[in-house]
Amino acid sequence: MAKRGGFPGGGMPGNMANLMKQAQRMQRQMEEQQKELESKEFTAAAGGGAVEVTVSGKREIVKVKLSEEVVDPDDIEMLEDLIVAAANEALRKVEEESGAAMSKLTGGLGGGIPGMF
């Protein structure tokens, strides 16, 4: 005769507590990784190094460096394009490192389940 309520064998509540501890530990590690990422800076260049953009791990532009030869009043559009390209590349670097750190922590958890990590 089956028991009413609860889990068979009574082992599940202990496993659930263990899962909760693991989840809490993972959350702390994720928070630490996020703080570490936010303290870093990522620099990318465009136009053969004529434009450099530095972005913080918080995804904020912190520095733009232009070489004199790229500042041409007759071709402002090219300069704008180079700044956009360098900024987007720096932001891509932030995302890449963020994704790598998350993957390292989760170790493949979630298995492609929508909404999981």
pLDDT per residue as tens, the chain (117 positions): 555 555 555 555 678 888 898 889 888 988 988 898 999 999 999 999 999 999 999 999 999 999 999 999 999 999 999 999 999 999 999 999 988 888 887 775 554 445 544
Which of the 8 DSSP states describes residue 58? Answer: T
Torsion angles phi and psi, residue 46, rounded to 5: -140, 160
